[in-house]
Copies of this chain bind each other. A is one copy, B any other.
């Protein structure tokens, strides 16, 4: 609904734009990379095209995203965040960590998408790791994403990394427990819930660089 809350309040203004159904998911996908309409539609299972159209228009009116022609080889329209939209990234990362604290294992019928995996890695990253650069390629279920750490910074993206990764991680739902520290790298490998291609030492570095605590069991 484009109805407001009748309050002169920053949070009310934010909620008017971001509180609409699917709006946060769309912005999250765009914090990971610019996307076309069809990319977004495929990356957000269940969203009706009508709703996607409406949200994109509203987010554009609110100066959170812009649309421009896709660069040369591709055709069509590319949606991307404006500077104002990019300001949301650390806030959504924090909100995602908050939500992830009570999220131990996937519910029936919950999937992992490229963008959700990439944004999870970004929000899980903490400084203090090896100087790098180090590139991790993570796959979980049908999703694939990569993360490159360089000093205290991290860059993430959907799909395959453009250059050969230093470590490839193939994981099931155990990835969540690995990020929580509930499961050690040794246990994860031994149980078969996680398989790697690359130096085993780098998996330990991965668990130091990416962490999301887990406070409650899965609801």
Contact = CB atoms under 8 A, between A and B. Distances in A.
Given A107-B4, A109-B6, A116-B7, A12 B95 contact: no
Contact of A9 (B9, B46, B84, B119): B119
Nearest to A31: B11
Contact of A46 (B6, B24, B119, B120): B6
A133 interface: no
A61 to B, nearest CB: 8
Given A19-B19, A25-B7, A12 B98 contact: no
A10 B99 contact: yes
Interface string A67-109: 0000000000000000010011011101111111111001101
Nearest to A93: B11
The copy count of this chain in the complex is: 2
B111 A6 contact: yes
A26 to B, nearest CB: 11
Interface of A: 1, 4-15, 17-25, 28, 44-46, 62-63, 84, 87-88, 90-92, 94-103, 106-107, 109-113, 116, 119-120, 123, 173, 176, 212, 215-216, 219
Given A7-B110, A62-B219, A94-B94, 13 more contacts: A5-B22, A6-B111, A7-B116, A8-B111, A9-B99, A9-B116, A11-B99, A12-B99, A14-B96, A18-B95, A19-B19, A63-B216, A91-B98
